[in-house]
Structure 1
């Protein structure tokens, strides 16, 4: 195995572990609710998500499934597909509500680098099949 492959594997596993560990933290430390936010607009947004009664469990389930999928090379593209909308929402949340531009930029860049790595797999989704 080349060093480049090891680096990409570590990059992928760290991405998946973040979503797993963040989910466990939300479940254990915050009782299944979003962590408290210091910015009023962000707090209103997360309280609204919690108030729906289905968004937070849906996010928790998708983060768990996608986080586990990203840990393994074979299922990483499926995990990335599941995480796509959430990564966009996380980025916009930090860009527009919390003002944490660097933190909001890390996630889409990391996500896009992993998508680029698995681009041959995703390219098959748009390939025309003979009739």
Structure 2
């Protein structure tokens, strides 16, 4: 049973993601195509941390690298670390949208999905790093 879902605004969950409290994966797919998150470390399922990220409760950054390569996350905003919100995303109700854009260009969230996992999906890092 999933704890939460992420899908493009107005689109089917079949092209979205599901979070079970440990693994974020494409909806209906195997955990092998997902990412593991333990509340601090985020990495492709059963892979080494070299492709992973670290979460300190505020900044998601590539494992072993500076926060300047990461994303700053708050309850209502996600943006590249120390950069303008114009390059980030804003929460609007149950949806997230690129800053200054309509929710039609964004994502719908159902249930509880941790902020670092939203960063993976919104930025395309999920696919780039092994998801």
TM-score of the aligned structures, taking structure 2 as reference length? 0.26
Q: Going by fraction, where is helix more abundant, 1 or 2?
A: 1
Q: Radius of gyration: which is bigger?
A: 1
Q: Going by fraction, where is strand more abundant, 1 or 2?
A: 2
TM-score of the aligned structures, taking structure 1 as reference length? 0.26
